[in-house]
């Protein structure tokens, strides 16, 4: 099945392709000629996920899905959360965000470094939204480890693979337990049953 994944993040695209497998052909907005940044101005993951999917649906009229994710760090009161992408400022890099997070956490010595990734995936079928949630628990490492993945992967240690980070375990193990893996497997199961 051919479907648009409303993302410009190649890391997310690689993971989704691996999770969904050969039954799906994922098309990016860029491949449809949509090259501008997709707006995400909501203050919840669900709102942003819906906003991204609706943006693409309005432009193309085609079924699509979007993912919005956030990293919640307990010692920081749940930050960066829904603001994870721009934590260190507009147009910041993944490295800028990691530096800022490690810097903030250094001001909370002795506190637990517990954290979790959450994702909400919105699937739009005929313009109707269907939501899928995923969460993975872990801890924030003191420094980066590993070279794979993207975003905060080099400092996120999922409980299931401690003390390795998402960047150290690689895409297959990450997908098996990740926030995004949970959502996309649930989405595929829903599609198999309902479409």
118 contributes a contact to ligand IMP by CB under 6 A: no
37 or 193: CB nearest ligand IMP: 37
Residue 15 C-beta: closest distance to ligand IMP, Å: 7
Token reading at 9: 């993040």
Contact positions with ligand IMP (CB under 6 A) in 60-79: 67-71
* CA–CA dist 171, 13 (Å, integer): 12
Q: What is the DSSP string of 96-137?
A: HHHHHHHHHHHTSTTS--EEEEEEEEEEEETTEEEEEEEEEE
Is residue 68 part of the annotated active site? The answer reads: yes
Q: Please state the closest distance from residue 71 (CB atom) to ligand IMP, in A.
A: 6
Neighbours of 100 (CB within 10 A): 16
Residue 162 per-residue DSSP state: T
* Nearest C-alpha neighbor of 185 from the set 11, 23, 8: 23
**CB closer to ligand IMP out of 61 and 172:** 172
Choice between 69 and 182, CB closer to ligand IMP: 69
Q: How many residues bind ligand IMP (CB under 6 A)?
A: 19
**What is the chain's Cα-based Rg?**
16
Q: Which of 29, 134, 138, 151 binds ligand IMP (CB under 6 A)?
A: 151
User: Which tokens sit at 125?
Assistant: 């079928």
Nearest residue to ligand IMP on Cβ basis: 151
Which residue out of 63, 67, 68, 153 is catalytically annotated?
68
Applying CB under 6 A, the residues found at the interface with ligand IMP are 9, 67-71, 84-85, 94, 97, 117, 149-153, 166, 178, 180
């Amino acid at each position: 099945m051919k479907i648009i994944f409303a993302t410009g993040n190649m890391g997310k695209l690689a993971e989704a392709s691996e999770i969904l497998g050969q039954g799906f052909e994922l098309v990016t907005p860029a491949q449809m000629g949509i090259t501008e940044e997709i707006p995400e101005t909501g203050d919840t993951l669900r709102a942003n996920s819906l906003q991204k999917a609706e943006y693409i649906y309005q432009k193309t009229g085609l079924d699509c899905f979007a993912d919005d994710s956030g990293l919640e760090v307990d010692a920081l009161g749940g930050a960066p959360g829904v603001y994870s992408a721009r934590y260190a400022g507009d147009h910041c890099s993944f490295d800028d965000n990691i530096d800022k997070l490690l810097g903030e956490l250094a001001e909370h010595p002795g506190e637990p470094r517990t954290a979790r990734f959450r994702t909400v995936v919105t699937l739009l079928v005929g313009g109707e939204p269907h939501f899928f949630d995923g969460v993975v628990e872990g801890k924030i490492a003191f420094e980066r480890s590993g070279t794979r993945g993207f975003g905060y992967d080099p400092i996120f240690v999922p409980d299931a693979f401690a003390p390795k980070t998402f960047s150290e375990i690689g895409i297959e193990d990450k997908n098996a337990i990740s926030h995004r893996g949970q959502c996309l497997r649930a989405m595929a199961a829903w599609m198999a049953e309902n479409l």
